[in-house]
Amino acid sequence: MERTRALRLVGAVLVLVGGAVHLKLNLDDYGNDDIIRAFALNAGASALVAGYLALRDDLVGPLAGIGLSLGTLAAFALARRGDGLLDLREVGWNPSPEAGVSVATETLALVVLALVAWRARAATSSLRS
């Protein structure tokens, strides 16, 4: 169980770092008003999910973190396709270095939180047996 707790905390830190990147972009007024608001929402949601992961030991936290990271990565991809996202069209790894840090952090969060969710599910299944 200690390993699972450590993984939850690592996941919480990764989610929080992703949110901090978006908060920085928000405070830098990067993008249009809609994107700036979306960055603030991402930062707030990241703080809530990270807090939940740190304080609770259930499946809700990892699933929320996975959803948040997947949504962030999807938004990153959409902002680089067609007309972009919320009237913002980005190219490549701009803004730099925030784009790279965000993609790396969210991807790592997905991996860690998927492992946490799998371990939590396995522990729940073994209790039922």
Q: Name the nearest CA neighbour of 62 among 71, 75, 52.
A: 52
Q: pTM to 2 decimals?
A: 0.92
CA–CA separation, 4 and 124 (whole Å): 13
- 100 and 17 in contact (C-beta within 8 Å)? no
Q: What is the pLDDT of residues 36-81, one digit of tens each?
A: 999 999 999 999 999 999 999 999 999 999 999 999 999 999 999 9
Average pLDDT over residues 106-128: 86
